[in-house]
Structure 1
């Protein structure tokens, strides 16, 4: 009875992730990042792209539907670009960037920011102790400045940052790098810092690059035939070259020979590649299990993981975390590595709908692994669609009348969700005679909550009404609904309603015993 109440949640949205992600561009909720939780609905609705960054995920930048750029947060190293060093919890607009369509944005550890526009212009600001802003100085950039040295007449399409070095990719497939170069991460053939953008040549000279990423002090590029090249620090094997020696110029990953790589990502000191066949390879540091191999041993060459799973369509990691994530074709999202301090050495299936949620909830710090696109479209998940159609007279094919009020439902949903209705709607059911079903043994709030539960898996009732719903759940043999009602009643007992609830509980128990005896 009421004395034994399991620890169920009042609101349970038990919808598999696979059902929640029919399309690849799943709508993302930016409020999963605490930085955005103080914003009102109107402000949130205006956000088109966003990025949370910083050593403690304490800075954020977002672009609105009107191509206005706003920033807020702690403002370490002037990384907000507001022209001063002041922190702000209220978003400030960067007027200098107004109207410029942002196509790529990334951040370093200083932090410093790189931003590329649709017109191919590159802007930088923030920490500049190693000339990572590309302006030839080491002065901090307090506001966005156009990076023009060696990039005149070049159209930048993609940017990437390591801890204190920067990279840019042009529309012609050229790779430029600059900034900190103690391990060769700029790819210039030396370890001298590079104050302005310099083209990465060597064996990339006649190649067309299509993607670039950075680890903390390493760099990777994918070229148009699917080959991968790496350079920079390699002490953990993050370049995947089969050794742990630093590489001052780009070198092809022989371990991926014969494969056509479509996406690469880098963590703090590990890397991953996704092939055109949906196969996932990982290499480098593995202290936290971020390679997903089942152990914590570093890998100097690429090894395939998630081999028993379905096709992988997206992989995720970023240079300031030891966390990895992947998404399958059916929408399942896996995570591994450092997850809220724990070391997850094998890919763990989550209930997330997208890889971005992994970083919002489990990465340390909880930064974004990419510039997040927030799609405000009309796409609804299966659960959302069902909830929307409950009590909708336009699509319903059946209605209940309770206390003189109608509740509109769909016979198919009721048959799928409840054995009571499945038995009721047998082939001999006369639909012409039963357009309206009269209910007189339960109140309108109780019966409506029951029908809504069949559409949403949730119950929202005061404890006084939950007694009646518990009675209904018992009559209809809905055990899960019984547990939810018991939980609501137990959690809702206060001095003012204790007597009435006790009376109802005693009456309910007596009626149940009487029914049991009559059945015997």
Structure 2
């Protein structure tokens, strides 16, 4: 989903490994996908654009398996599409493709995983609303899809790209994250770079316009990773501090007040290990295994038993076994150290996977 990029974020949420050391989950606007420890892929929820990947356009109220492959290593979900990397470093996408965000050279929606038409050396992927970016094993960065506000980072050479375009010539990219119409990424030297729409300050550059090529955010070289929401972003530093910037209409920056065009620290805690932004809600994990959420809570996605928006981090229950492997949006899902998956928030399209369409304001376990 928007912002599914870096959770924990020194590495991307969707990094390919020989096999998933931990199960992985991704959430779109109204669908969810997860990789189990056996490397099989399962999806559920809204399926109007084929984003579940089971060859149909039928909503699913409980997890259904996507194909028979047991080689899925990582994944991310855009608004109405999904992308995943297999252990052979190939990249596959499916679902909505109106802006070429599936990267297969067309604008035709796909109801089953379809290989992205550019190589077999992908290490991570981030799916936004209508654009996608990925890092290859050689450290190069590539983006494709909608580019109206320069979110592909190519200097606005094209309006829509149906195949991957390389972002600059650098081969030092470590992670990437895509929002609605902006993109941010970290480099191996610990620097942070953003581009695309900045009408709410979401690039962190102190501007309220847009940027068509990567621009460095400040001068810090201690960024561990970054995650993009709809029109905001958050990032962790190597000292355990957490910073957010951009739109703050729901308190998604973790502090009261208006938008911020440059990074502002979330509280004074320095024990953050992972953060994930999705639409206008943010969730983050701490070193003690606790999970905290804030921002838009209209569907209970903050997980505190209410539907009250929160402008400061609120703890989700009392568990200290959250892995930091989570997905955030209008509904949230997260894994615990015992391998169990829990979801909460909006459920109008059965995206919580509990067999119902009942909204949940606190975590409910998913049988996966």
With the length of structure 2 as denominator, give the TM-score of the two structures. Answer: 0.77
Tell me: CA distance 1:135–1:377, structure 2 relative to 1, closer, same or farther (3 Å). closer
Q: Does 2:167 match 1:196?
A: no
What's the offset of the Cα at 1:330? 2.9
Q: Does 2:69 match 1:98?
A: yes
The answer to whether the 8 Å contact 1:54/1:367 transfers is: no
The alignment partner of 1:78 has SS state of coil
The answer to whether the 8 Å contact 2:205/2:262 transfers is: yes
C-alpha separation in 2, matches of 1:272 and 1:377: 26
What's the offset of the Cα at 1:376? 4.2
Structure 2 matches for 1:146-161, cutoff 5 A? 146-148=115-117, 151-152=118-119, 154-161=120-127
What's the offset of the Cα at 1:283? 0.7
Structure 2 matches for 1:380-459, cutoff 5 A? none
Tell me: CA distance 1:376–1:186, structure 2 relative to 1, closer, same or farther (3 Å). same
Larger helix proportion, structure 1 or 2? Answer: 1
Which segments of 5 or more consecutive residues in structure 1 lack a partner in the other structure? 1-23, 25-47, 379-520
- Which residue does the alignment assign to 1:476? none
- Which residue does the alignment assign to 1:70? 42
| CA deviation profile, 1:159-213 (whole Å, cap 9, x unmatched) | 1011010111111111110001111111111151111011111xxx234011111
| CA deviation profile, 1:461-503 (whole Å, cap 9, x unmatched) | xxxxxxxxxxxxxxxxxxxxxxxxxxxxxxxxxxxxxxxxxxx
C-alpha separation in 1, matches of 2:338 and 2:107: 40
| CA deviation profile, 1:63-88 (whole Å, cap 9, x unmatched) | 34433333333312011222232334
- Which residue does the alignment assign to 2:19? none
Tell me: CA distance 1:279–1:367, structure 2 relative to 1, closer, same or farther (3 Å). closer
Larger strand proportion, structure 1 or 2? Answer: 2
Q: Does 2:287 match 1:316?
A: no
Q: Does 2:95 match 1:129?
A: no
What's the offset of the Cα at 1:216? 1.1
The alignment partner of 1:62 has SS state of strand
The alignment partner of 1:142 has SS state of strand
Structure 2 matches for 1:457-472, cutoff 5 A? none
- Which residue does the alignment assign to 1:230? 194
What's the offset of the Cα at 1:326? 2.7
Tell me: CA distance 1:103–1:322, structure 2 relative to 1, closer, same or farther (3 Å). same
Structure 2 matches for 1:318-397, cutoff 5 A? 318=278, 321-339=279-297, 340=300, 341-353=307-319, 365-368=330-333, 375-376=337-338
Tell me: CA distance 1:226–1:178, structure 2 relative to 1, closer, same or farther (3 Å). same
| Structure of higher CA gyration radius | 1
- Which residue does the alignment assign to 2:365? none
Q: Does 2:109 match 1:140?
A: yes
Structure 2 matches for 1:221-260, cutoff 5 A? 221-254=185-218, 257-260=219-222
The answer to whether the 8 Å contact 2:291/2:324 transfers is: no
- Which residue does the alignment assign to 2:58? 86
- Which residue does the alignment assign to 2:350? none
Counterpart of 2:172 (choices 194, 197, 208) is: 208
Q: Does 2:263 match 1:302?
A: yes
Question: Number of residue pairs matched?
Answer: 310
The alignment partner of 1:130 has SS state of coil
The answer to whether the 8 Å contact 2:154/2:213 transfers is: yes
